[in-house]
Amino acid sequence: MARINLLPWREELREERRKRFLTAMVAVLVVTVGVVLFADQYISGAIDRQTARNDYVSKQIAVLDERIKQISDLKARRQELVERMRIIQDLQGNRPISGRIFDQLARTLPDGVYFTDVKMFDKTLSISGAAESNNRVSDLMRNLDASDWFDAPSLTEVKATTAGAVDQANVFQLTVRQTQPADPEGAK
């Protein structure tokens, strides 16, 4: 029988397959490392671009917030100015009314009565004064009630005081509401 030794040929074939396998493994490893580095660079770039966009949006939001604050301040100033204008217009419109009230107070004042204090709060006048008699105070209240500019006179207090043996005066306090007639120019 012939002895043929095929071991070196098999050994060489095994060695060549092993080298190809290692070469393929190194190639796969190099490609994998390359792909991982490329993916890392791509993701880092995407994160940097998004961070830049977020910074830009944040800056624009800050600018818009400042503008909104300015607009709010301007609206508040406008509201204050409108309120001031309304108050001034009310004062301008009510200017003749004050004169009318004093004129009506003088017209309704009967002889023997004088006022010592007149105060107005909202539309209510508080009047203090003195009269020669209770009848004069009654006349004053009737005159106030008959006036187009006054409504609902209410006597709060009447006191009799003696300044001397001969003179006697009645000190009174009353309240009356100020109204406005339908035609202020026609009322006198």
Residue 23 vs residue 143, higher pLDDT? 23
Whether 143 contacts 106, CB under 8 Å: no
Q: Locate 104 and state its tokens.
A: 């009506």
Whether 144 has a pLDDT exceeding 90, the answer reads: no
Instruction: Tell me the H-state helices in the chain.
Output: 7-108, 134-146
Residue 114 vs residue 92, higher pLDDT? 114
pTM of the model: 0.48
Residues in the chain: 188
CA 84 vs. chain centroid, Å, equals 15
Which CATH architecture best describes the domain 60-188? 2-Layer Sandwich (3.30)
| Nearest of 107, 130, 104 to residue 117 by alpha carbon | 130
Give pLDDT tens digits for 126-139: 999 888 888 888 88
pLDDT band, residue 168 (cuts 50/70/90): low
**Own/partner long-range contacts of 101-107 (Cβ < 8 Å, ≥24 apart):** 101/125, 101/149, 101/178, 104/147, 104/149, 104/150, 107/143, 107/147
Sign of the CA dihedral with 110 first, then 112, 118, and 122 last: negative
What residues does each domain of the chain span? 60-188
